């Protein structure tokens, strides 16, 4: 009987020891579950490129001649009368005319939506006659000075008191295009229009909006 009790006590000892260490009251291990898979972000969609605007058609020079004076002398004026600056002051490096030792002509043609507009007459003729001036609406710029000089389109526009540039010229909204007609050839000019020289018998064509399909090839009268 005593032996049986000892065996039972020996068998219960580990259980009592485990209970004393708190093994019987331990919390259950947490259950770990798999996290939901991360969905990849959709790739950004490329933005459509803006439509390419076609370049406006380039005008061509007429094959036959048009009389300069007869075709431009009745042009529709596109601007009001020129207002002379106060006093006999130089404008853009252009002064009042004194002795005439040099006299040449250059033509400035301004087109708005395909129509040629007449530049005001007597630009540069008020208070004094300037070295650059017009007589009528033809767009003929008279270059007169005591000695031969180089004048530019920028100087004439400064005297005319009108803006000049590809983004806007004399009330024409941009883009404004510039061309040269010289020696029976029409060429596009893409530089600074203010630096264009008013060379003798050179036509400077300024186009705002739609261009005429064909530009006249003028017959200059003798003496101009």
Q: Is residue 25 included in any domain, yes or no?
A: no
Residue 70: domain span? 65-78+94-219
Picking from 108, 69, 104, 68, the residue whose alpha carbon sits closest to that of residue 200 is 104
Q: Is residue 37 included in any domain, yes or no?
A: no
Model confidence at 28, pLDDT cuts 50, 70, 90, reads low
Q: Is residue 36 included in any domain, yes or no?
A: no
Q: What is the mean pLDDT of the chain?
A: 86
Domain tally, the chain: 1
Is the pTM of the predicted complex or chain greater than 0.95? no
- Scan for tokens 């600074």, then name that residue: 192
Model confidence at 19, pLDDT cuts 50, 70, 90, reads very low
The answer to whether residue 12 scores a pLDDT higher than 50 is no
Q: What is the DSSP letter of 133?
A: E
Q: What is the pLDDT of residues 55-68, one digit of tens each?
A: 778 999 999 999 99
| Residue 8 CA: distances (Å) to CA of 3, 13, 20 | 9, 9, 18
Q: Is residue 99 included in any domain, yes or no?
A: yes
Q: What is the pLDDT of residues 99-149, one digit of tens each?
A: 999 999 999 999 999 999 999 999 999 989 999 999 999 999 999 999 999
Q: What is the DSSP letter of 141?
A: E
Q: Is residue 132 included in any domain, yes or no?
A: yes
The answer to whether residue 6 scores a pLDDT higher than 90 is no
Q: Is residue 14 included in any domain, yes or no?
A: no
Q: Is residue 1 included in any domain, yes or no?
A: no
Q: How far apart are CA 202 and CA 205, in angstroms?
A: 10
Q: pLDDT exceeding 70 applies to what percent of the chain?
A: 83
């Amino acid at each position: 009987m005593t032996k049986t009790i000892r065996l039972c006590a020996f068998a219960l000892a580990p259980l009592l020891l485990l209970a004393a260490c708190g093994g019987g009251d331990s919390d259950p291990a947490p259950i770990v579950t798999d996290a939901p898979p991360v969905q990849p972000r959709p790739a950004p969609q490329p933005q459509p490129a803006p439509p390419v605007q076609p370049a406006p058609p380039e005008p061509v020079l007429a094959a036959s001649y048009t009389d300069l004076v007869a075709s431009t002398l009745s042009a529709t004026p596109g601007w009001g009368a020129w207002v002379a600056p106060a006093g006999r002051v130089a404008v853009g490096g252009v002064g009042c005319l004194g002795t005439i030792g040099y006299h040449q002509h250059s033509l400035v043609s301004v087109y708005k939506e395909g129509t040629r507009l007449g530049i005001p007459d007597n630009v540069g003729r008020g208070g004094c006659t300037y070295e650059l001036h017009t007589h009528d609406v033809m767009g003929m710029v008279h270059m007169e000075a005591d000695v031969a000089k180089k004048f530019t389109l920028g100087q004439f526009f400064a005297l005319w008191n009108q803006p000049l540039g590809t983004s806007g010229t004399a009330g024409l909204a941009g883009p404004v295009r510039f061309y040269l007609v010289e020696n029976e050839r029409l060429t596009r000019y893409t530089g600074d229009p203010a630096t264009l020289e008013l060379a003798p018998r050179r036509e400077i064509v300024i186009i705002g909006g739609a261009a005429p399909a064909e530009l006249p090839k003028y017959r200059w009268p003798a003496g101009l």
